[in-house]
Amino acid sequence: MHSFSLVSLFNRLAVLSATAVLFAHCTHALTVFSTDPNITYSPSSSWDLLTTPGSTGTGSSFLLGPHNNGSITFTFPQPSTTFQWWGYQRSDGGVAQICIDGGACQDYSFSNASTNGSENPRLLANITGLSNSIHTIVMTNVEDPSVKAFGQMTVDRFVLDGNDPSGGSYIVFSTDSEVNYSPSSNWTLLAAPGSAGCGSEFLLGDRDNGVVTVTFPYPFTALQWWGYQRSDGGLAQLCIDSLPCSQFSYNNASTNGTENPRLLANITGLSNGIHTLTITNVEDPSVKAFGQLNVDRFVLSGSIPAPTFPSNTFISSVPLGFAYHAPMILGGNTPALNVLLATTSTNDWVVSDLCNSDSCAGHNKYVPGPGSQNSSIQDAVVFNNNAPENSTLVSWRVTDSLTWGNITTANTTLGAATEIPTGESLDGNFGMAKSAYAKCGAGNYNNFLENMFMQGDIVNAVMAFYQLDGSEGVPTGVSSQGSIGGLDANKFTGEVDWIQMDPQGQWQSPASQRVVQASSSSSAIDATDLFSHPVVTFDTAYGALLDLPHDDWLTLMSLVGAQGPDSNGNFLIPCNSTMTLNFYGSQNRNYTFDLANTSSDNGNGFCNPLASDAGSMPTWLAGTQFLDKYYMAFHYTANMMGFAERNLGASAAESTPFIS
């Protein structure tokens, strides 16, 4: 079992609820549901929408009328190099002819004599090698010669892949320093529905002179502008470098202001380099007025570069308890306090010598050092208004020295607790969420690592973890360690996959590809666009594998063909179920893990899931059972997390700073 702070758990839930945002995401795949307006069914009277096993969106479209004249026309909503058709196989036969852009056609069978109508949709056609552009697909139901009849054609969804061939992508948020708004007094940051990062920028002042200029920090070949459509009209002129400018409309008379940001412009075919974009608000001739220009984010092709570590990098390491428990010396006094390093918490507390209650008995206590200062600011948290007194945490903010290994910083802020809840096994909790380097959602004060960097005690604002759970069978001398100041080159092998984080205080990946597979013999489903919550929060204080918001949990259960729920709301899933996440990092790496506890097989190949239903939690939550598998780093100034394969060999007993 992982030991974690009750206070950390409370803080995590509160902070996630307050800071998480939901927005449409950049992925390797775009799912187009059967009800999408880009799909035309002919004759329309012969088609009907049905909710069948595993159907996605609001259902699947079935050819219920005469089968000998059914056809579908689909024009891609964005460029794509591939096309997948997902639908239902038929035991009574079926063949569809698929033609692309009026060119060569090919037949695809959807016949399967053994199907009984209870299976989920299957991949019926997979077409690759298309030019990265918008294509038109025509699907015609044709006679199946094996049964000399026309089958019942169906569509559950189409899946497109329209990203840069390198497979990477990164986001420039509306609040990033590279994005400049003119005149600045006319622009305001708003938390609109589904806005990314810290919010979306809106032209609230005079609309006839609004301009956005961005010189992007990394090379790319394709650009997407995401923002909000406007019912009162809107037209923008986009210019890239010295290339000819193009106009893009963001007018939509039917929008009501409740929709998430939409793709307003998609520009491809650029040279692979640094580009400057200028967006100018221009008069919309359809309404003879200027619309309200806005920016939620830009999505760029290509992988985000890894941060570098200079030759003067040095690190300091301490032993880690299980899990992410570190010894801290405060005020220069020993013994060290055993604290949890919680990446979703924003503030610190430790048991102090001012706490004399039974709940503080047996703990190592913080004794103020000679240079300590009390700010006279009290923080109090009541965990349950109906609970007894020992459910309360009371602390006073103080400034004192902190020692990590062989590095001491003279001043950092922490909470000296005078009262803690009963049941705390640790001496304290140090919040490691971003504060000084967060653009929103920051805590009340900087964490100790940020202070160390800002005071010149370390070269890189980096904390890294080499966590073992005891099952690895490592050689003698190899043990769990936490390092500050950089990476330990002896603790990992291969390249570090650096992934972009949200600009908020939490360590959150804004987007990831999500592939689900029920078994090794079943088709892998790119379910990215089937889930409603794109953000993944990484939490060193949570001892589980993965938590999903309730609606995404139900989607996952449907995708793997789960049994249930039972009377207690519990599901069983196929024991070989897996999920693969890709966070579009510097290495574009896949992270595959088991979804089922195979020791709980019910005898029919179904097991208890390792993932959980998180109810109203607004993001996915990856806990220590996911994090422990990797050498892991948090880079505050680069706003990135790094993952690498752990070195489990004898050389991991040594320590060497990583230089790049």
Listed in sequence order, the residues at least 6 apart from 627 whose beta carbon sits closer than 8 Å to its beta carbon are 465, 467, 538, 540
Contact 425, 3 (CB under 8 A): yes
Residue type, 349: W
Peptide bond into 236 cis (omega under 30): no
Contact 228, 261 (CB under 8 A): yes
Pair type for strands 428-431 and 333-342: parallel
Q: Residue 265 corresponds to which tokens in the numbers above?
A: 């412009």
Q: Could you write out the DSSP letters of every residue in 440-490? A: BS--SS--HHHHHHHTTS-SS-EEEEE---S-S-PPTT---EEEESS-BGG
Residue type, 179: V
Neighbouring-strand partners of residue 235: 249, 282
Q: How far apart are CA 531 and CA 534, in angstroms?
A: 7
* Of the candidates 33, 17, 149, the residue with the CA atom closest to the CA atom of residue 93: 149
Q: What angle do CA 386, 389, 394 make, to 5 degrees?
A: 115
Q: Check whether 621 has a pLDDT greater than 60.
A: yes
Contact 418, 354 (CB under 8 A): yes
Contact 559, 516 (CB under 8 A): yes
Give the burial class of 423: count Cβ atoms within 10 A of its Cβ; 0-12 exposed, 13-18 middle, 19 or more buried: exposed
Over range 576-592, report the average pLDDT: 95
Over range 251-256, report the average pLDDT: 90
Confidence at residue 302, expressed as pLDDT on a 0 to 100 scale: 78
Q: Residue 396 corresponds to which tokens in the numbers above?
A: 């006073």
**Which residue did the predictor score with more confidence, 263 or 466?**
466
Q: Check whether 26 has a pLDDT greater than 70.
A: no
Q: Residue 280 corresponds to which tokens in the numbers above?
A: 């100018």
Pair type for strands 348-351 and 407-419: parallel
Q: How far apart are CA 491 and CA 547, in angstroms?
A: 28
Q: How far apart are CA 217 and CA 222, in angstroms?
A: 14
DSSP class of residue 303 equals P
Q: Residue 393 corresponds to which tokens in the numbers above?
A: 């945490």
CATH topology for the 169-301 domain: Jelly Rolls (2.60.120)
Q: Residue 212 corresponds to which tokens in the numbers above?
A: 């956005």
Contact 429, 414 (CB under 8 A): no
Q: For the chain, what percent of residues have pLDDT higher than 90? A: 78
Q: How far apart are CA 535 and CA 620, in angstroms?
A: 6
pLDDT tens, position by position, 454-474: 999 999 999 999 999 999 999
CATH topology for the 30-161 domain: Jelly Rolls (2.60.120)
CA atoms within 13 A on the CB side of 310: 5
Confidence at residue 390, expressed as pLDDT on a 0 to 100 scale: 56
Query: Where is average pLDDT lowest: 87-101, 465-479, 514-528, 559-573?
Result: 514-528
Over range 298-318, report the average pLDDT: 94
Confidence at residue 440, expressed as pLDDT on a 0 to 100 scale: 92
Pair type for strands 373-382 and 149-150: unpaired
Peptide bond into 43 cis (omega under 30): yes
* Of the candidates 302, 305, 304, 298, the residue with the CA atom closest to the CA atom of residue 197: 298
**Token pair 């007025």 in the structure block, residue:** 289
Q: How far apart, in Å, are the Cα atoms of 162 and each of 6, 173, 246, 509? A: 45, 21, 21, 21
* Of the candidates 553, 502, 351, the residue with the CA atom closest to the CA atom of residue 15: 502
> Residue 615's pLDDT band (boundaries 50, 70, 90)?
very high
Give the burial class of 108: count Cβ atoms within 10 A of its Cβ; 0-12 exposed, 13-18 middle, 19 or more buried: middle
Query: Where is average pLDDT lowest: 49-53, 234-238, 338-342, 352-356?
Result: 49-53
Q: How far apart are CA 625 and CA 645, in angstroms?
A: 15
Over range 411-426, report the average pLDDT: 94
Number of residues in the chain: 660
> Residue 11's pLDDT band (boundaries 50, 70, 90)?
very low
Domains 30-161 and 169-301 share a fold: yes
What are the domain boundaries of the chain?
30-161, 169-301, 483-653
Q: How far apart are CA 181 and CA 16, in angstroms?
A: 29
Say which CATH class 483-653 falls into: mainly beta
Over range 272-292, report the average pLDDT: 97
Pair type for strands 462-466 and 348-351: unpaired
Q: How far apart are CA 204 and CA 283, in angstroms?
A: 16
Over range 90-94, report the average pLDDT: 94
pLDDT tens, position by position, 116-175: 888 888 899 989 888 877 899 999 999 999 999 999 999 999 988 754 333 468 899 999
* Of the candidates 520, 460, 420, the residue with the CA atom closest to the CA atom of residue 640: 460
End-to-end CA distance of the chain: 37
Q: How far apart are CA 385 and CA 283, in angstroms?
A: 56
Q: How far apart are CA 139 and CA 96, in angstroms?
A: 6
Q: How far apart are CA 174 and CA 189, in angstroms?
A: 9
Q: How far apart are CA 541 and CA 9, in angstroms?
A: 7
Residue type, 87: G
Phi–psi pair at 427, nearest 5 degrees: -85, -10
Pair type for strands 223-227 and 39-42: unpaired
* Of the candidates 659, 660, 658, 655, the residue with the CA atom closest to the CA atom of residue 317: 655
Contact 400, 372 (CB under 8 A): yes
Confidence at residue 384, expressed as pLDDT on a 0 to 100 scale: 56
